[in-house]
């Protein structure tokens, strides 16, 4: 990736701090800009008018992913033909300062470090691509579903505790005061599920992916949707990259060795897609007592003395590899189907 300057940006909701740096790590300009389309377009025009950058096409915008807050800047910059790179915050801090904490931390300093990171690790960067509109909508629907479920749980947990410890009249009053709210939230979730299903069915490719993925034992609708989102419909992770996706999901046991030191038990990575890992765990646990292939696998391995979570993790791994195998071969999963899982 070749670029003459970098625009490092530390994004906030109402404004962002930015640092323009050249290949010699010299700071050309530092600014704070309002996070609105009009202010952003004015700022970009000023950069070129003042000669701070020769061309936006040769200036890489590097920023951390802060959800919807980055959308104005990314859209404006892409519309001007500039390259964009969105990087995980943890990679920047670990790459430039190991696992220790920064000596000093401000928004302006963070913008400088993002610009520096882009130059030092230019060979590792991947340009941002505009997400597919259907996938973006699916992701938004899924997150909205999570928020609704969280709201229901937030209301129901205190009620359950009240029934255990409060008097009957208090607990009954609490139930009566929020029963309409819970029913309304459940109704919203039902409507949202309908919208999600209609969205998937409206896209022939996503509908086929969903059908293939849910044919695998232990992979339900919610897990299938999360896999589609995480893989970006198998573009970010290609159908032959099942093992790489398993590492991303945190279900691959990792060795810990140094010289003569050998840790007896391997552990999965703590840094992973926890949401997906949790869903896979729930799917694997649901199979334990079922007379299905993975259910029998669990019983056989635990009878051999294997630890519960060791077997569950192996099941999670198998589920992922099977998902990628059916997508790669474009066939529904069948018990005795001879599929290469590598």
Question: In this model, does residue 269 exceed pLDDT 90?
Answer: no
Supply the pTM of this predicted model. Answer: 0.85
What pLDDT is stored for residue 88 in this prediction?
Answer: 84
User: Which residues, listed in sequence order, are joined to residue 59 by a DSSP beta bridge?
Assistant: 5
Residue 212, H or E segment: helix 204-213
The mean per-residue pLDDT over the stretch 155-171 comes to 90
Question: Residue 36 contacts by C-beta under 8 Å, 6 or more apart in sequence?
Answer: 72
* CB-CB contact of 79 with 41 (8 Å): no
* C-alpha distance across the termini of the chain, in Å: 31
Domain ranges of the chain: 5-124, 133-202, 212-329
Neighbours of 197 (CB within 10 A): 14
Q: What is the DSSP string of 167-202?
A: -HHHHHHHHHHHHHHHHHHHHHHHHHHHHHHHHHHH
Q: Taking the C-alpha atoms of 26, 31, 32 and 35 in order, what is their torsion angle to the nearest 10 degrees?
A: -90
- How do residues 290-305 score in pLDDT, each as one tens digit? 988 999 999 999 999 9
Phi-psi region of 98 (alpha: psi -120 to 50; beta: other; left: phi over 0): left
* The pLDDT value given to residue 91: 80
Which of the four CATH numbers 2.40.50.100, 3.30.465.10, 3.30.420.10, 3.40.50.10490 does domain 5-124 have?
A: 3.30.420.10
The residue to which tokens 């791994």 are assigned: 317
Q: Order of strands, edge to edge, in the sheet holding 15-22?
A: 27-34, 15-22, 5-11, 59-64, 84-87
pLDDT at site 272: 82
Q: pLDDT digits over 34-63, tens only?
A: 999 999 999 999 999 999 999 999 999 999
What pLDDT shows up at residue 22? 95
């Amino acid at each position: 990736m070749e670029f003459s300057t970098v625009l490092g940006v530390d994004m906030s909701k109402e404004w962002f701090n930015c640092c323009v740096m050249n290949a010699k790590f010299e700071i050309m300009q530092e600014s704070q800009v309002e996070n609105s389309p009009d202010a952003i377009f004015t700022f970009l025009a000023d950069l070129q008018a003042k000669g701070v950058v020769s061309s936006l096409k040769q200036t890489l915008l590097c920023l951390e992913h802060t959800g919807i807050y980055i959308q104005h800047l990314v859209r404006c910059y892409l519309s001007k033909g500039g390259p964009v790179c969105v990087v995980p915050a943890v990679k920047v801090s670990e790459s430039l300062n190991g696992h220790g904490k920064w000596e000093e931390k401000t928004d302006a300093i963070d913008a400088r470090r993002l610009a520096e990171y882009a130059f030092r690790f230019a060979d590792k960067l991947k340009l941002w691509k505009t997400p597919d509109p259907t996938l973006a909508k699916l992701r938004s629907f899924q997150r909205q579903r999570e928020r609704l479920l969280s709201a229901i749980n937030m209301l129901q947990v205190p009620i359950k505790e009240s029934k255990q410890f409060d008097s009957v009249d208090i607990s009954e009053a609490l139930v009566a005061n929020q029963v309409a709210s819970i029913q309304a939230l459940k109704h919203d979730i039902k409507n949202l599920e309908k919208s999600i299903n209609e969205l998937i069915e409206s896209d022939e490719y996503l509908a086929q992916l969903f059908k293939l993925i849910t044919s695998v034992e232990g992979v339900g609708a919610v897990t299938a949707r999360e896999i589609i989102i995480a893989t970006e419909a198998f573009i970010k992770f290609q159908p032959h990259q099942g093992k790489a996706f398993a590492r991303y999901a945190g279900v691959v046991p990792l060795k810990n060795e140094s010289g003569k030191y050998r840790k007896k038990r391997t552990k999965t990575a703590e840094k992973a897609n926890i949401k997906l890992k949790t869903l896979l765990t729930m799917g694997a646990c649901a199979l334990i007592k079922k007379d299905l292939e993975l259910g029998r696998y669990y019983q056989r391995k635990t009878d051999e003395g294997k630890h519960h979570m060791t077997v569950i993790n192996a099941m999670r791994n198998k589920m992922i590899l099977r998902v990628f195998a059916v997508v790669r071969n474009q066939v529904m999963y069948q018990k005795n189907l001879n599929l290469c899982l590598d």
